[in-house]
C-alpha cells in the first residue's frame, strides 16, 4: 500500500471512530468491564462473531454477557409479569449459552441499584426483580438498559488459557460500546479495528 493510500484509510477510520479502543491479547489485561472480541476464526462456534462484556472477573472464574446478539423476542412479551416491562420498546438479548432461563440486565445509573453489581463507572449488572422493575420504570429507551437471557461462564484459569491460545481480543472498558446503537454490526466494526492496527504495525515494520 502506498503511503498516500494508507494515510487516507487511516483518516477514514479515525473519522468513523473518534475514540479507538485499545486492544490486547494478554491475559494480564483481563478485568471486570473489559470487552472480549472473538477473532474471525473463533475456536468455539458458540462464540463466533461475539462481543462479550466481562461482568465479573475473579481468580476462581469469570462471568460475561454477549452484548451484540439481540433476539426477536420483545421484552414486553418475555417479561410480561414484571412491572414496567409492558411499555418497553426493546428486545431481549442473548447473553450466552449458559442457563438461558436466567435473566440479567445491564443498566447505567447515577444511583446504585439496591442489589446491583457495579462493573465500572455508572454501569451496573442487576438480576433481582425489584431492581429490574425500577430500571424498566426509569428507562424509556435502550440507551441505558438492556436485558439478557443466559450468560457466559468460565472456571478458574479457563478464560486466561483461551486468551493465551489466541481466542480473544481484549478491548478497554466502554459503556458506549456496551449500549452501541447498532449491535448487529458491532463485532465487524471492532474486528476491523484489530485488523487495521495489525496492518499499520506491519506497514511500519
Q: Provide the CATH number for the domain around residue 43.
A: 3.40.1740.10
pLDDT for the residue numbered 197:
59
* pLDDT > 90? residue 83: yes
In total, how many domains does the chain have?
Answer: 1
The pLDDT of residue 121 is: 96
**DSSP one-letter string for 121-164:** TTEEEE-SHHHHHHHHHH-SSTTSEEEEEEEEEEETTHHHHHHH
pLDDT at 7 over 90: no
Global confidence as pTM: 0.85
Beta bridge partners of 65: 53
The whole-number pLDDT of residue 1 equals 46
**Mean pLDDT of the chain, nearest integer:** 87
Q: What is the mean pLDDT of residues 196-200?
A: 54
Confidence grade of residue 21 (pLDDT, cut at 50, 70, 90): low
Q: Tell me which of 6-20, 21-35, 130-144, 152-166 is least confident.
A: 6-20
pLDDT at 132: 95
Question: What share of the chain in percent tops pLDDT 90?
Answer: 75
Here the contacts of 46-55 (C-beta below 8 Å, separation 24 or greater) are: 46/97, 47/152, 49/187, 49/188, 50/187, 51/177, 51/186, 51/187, 51/190, 52/96, 52/152, 53/106, 53/119, 53/178, 54/30, 55/104, 55/106, 55/117, 55/119, 55/125, 55/151
pLDDT of res. 139: 73
More confident residue, 141 or 131: 131
In this predicted structure, what is the pLDDT of residue 138?
Answer: 86
pLDDT band at 189 (very low <50, low <70, confident <90, very high): very high
Q: What does the buried/exposed string (b/e) look like for 179-200 if buried means 16 or more CB atoms within 10 Å of the residue's CB? A: bbeebeebbebbbebbebeeee
Domain extent at residue 120: 3-204
Mean pLDDT score, 146-161: 97
Q: What percent of the chain has pLDDT over 70?
A: 83
Amino acid at each position: 500500500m502506498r503511503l498516500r493510500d494508507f494515510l487516507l484509510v487511516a483518516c477514514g477510520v479515525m473519522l468513523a471512530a473518534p475514540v479507538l479502543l485499545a486492544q490486547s491479547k494478554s491475559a494480564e489485561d483481563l478485568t471486570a468491564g473489559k470487552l472480549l472480541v472473538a477473532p474471525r476464526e473463533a475456536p468455539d462456534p458458540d462464540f463466533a462473531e461475539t462481543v462479550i462484556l466481562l461482568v465479573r472477573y475473579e481468580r476462581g472464574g469469570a462471568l460475561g454477557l454477549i452484548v451484540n446478539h439481540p433476539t426477536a423476542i420483545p421484552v414486553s412479551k418475555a417479561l410480561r409479569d414484571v412491572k414496567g416491562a409492558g411499555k418497553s420498546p426493546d428486545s431481549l438479548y442473548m447473553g450466552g449459552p449458559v442457563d438461558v432461563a436466567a435473566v440479567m440486565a445491564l443498566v447505567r445509573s447515577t444511583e446504585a441499584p439496591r442489589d446491583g453489581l457495579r462493573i465500572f463507572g455508572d454501569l451496573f449488572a442487576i438480576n433481582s426483580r425489584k431492581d429490574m422493575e425500577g430500571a424498566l420504570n426509569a428507562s424509556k429507551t435502550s440507551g441505558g438498559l438492556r436485558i439478557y437471557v443466559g450468560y457466559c461462564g468460565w472456571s478458574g484459569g479457563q478464560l486466561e488459557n483461551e486468551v493465551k491460545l489466541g481466542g480473544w481480543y481484549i478491548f478497554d472498558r466502554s459503556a458506549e460500546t456496551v449500549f452501541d446503537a447498532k449491535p448487529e454490526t458491532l463485532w465487524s466494526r471492532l474486528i476491523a479495528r484489530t485488523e487495521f492496527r495489525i496492518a499499520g504495525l506491519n506497514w511500519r515494520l
